[in-house]
Copies of this chain bind each other. A is one copy, B any other.
Amino acid sequence: MDQAQARTWLTTAVEEARSGLAEGGIPIGAALYGADGTLLGRGHNRRVQDGDPSLHAETAAFRAAGRQRSYRGTTMVTTLSPCWYCSGLVRQFGISRVVIGEAVTFHGGHDWLAEHGVEIVLVDDAECAGLMRAFIAEHPALWHEDIGVN
């Protein structure tokens, strides 16, 4: 996948991250695109809004897409490098590609995914990094809770 297509899809995830921030939540968004480019599901981190630690952005997008017989050819687009939980999701369900907004403020399991045959497209987007830098500076305890650092 080329960077232009990745950037286009990333805008959906960034919209989700902004929505999460506007709701008082952690600004991480994601979207799952089908093999044919259809948007299957989108979502954002809902730890604060729903008191639900299981809804990271990627799992929220995956959930919104509903039941699928196959994830072959699908792309998970996320504003931030996926943590082990979300990387495990990608590997288990055979999601083919992950587009990542940034991996500067957090480096999750995307190298492991690449080793296991998942195509990784790192966009290195300044807005994604800016959203996280500002959030982490303001709410370090909440961010640490979200990634199990304590």
Contacts and interface: CB of A to CB of B under 8 A. Distances in A.
A6 interface: no
Instruction: Name which of A69, A84, A94, A145 has the most chain B CB atoms within 10 A of its CB.
Output: A84
A94 B85 CA distance: 11
A53 B61 CA distance: 11
A150 interface: yes
Main secondary structure of the interface of A (DSSP, over half): loop
A150 B69 contact: yes
Nearest to A150: B70
A89 to B, nearest CB: 5
Number of copies: 2
Given A53-B67, A83-B88, A85-B85, A72 B150 contact: yes
Q: How large is the interface on A (under 10, 10 to 19, 20 to 34, 35 or more residues)?
A: 20 to 34
Interface of A: 47, 51-54, 59, 62-63, 65-72, 83-89, 91-94, 109, 145, 147-148, 150
Contacts of A88: 83-89, 91, 109
B70 A53 contact: no
B69 A145 contact: yes
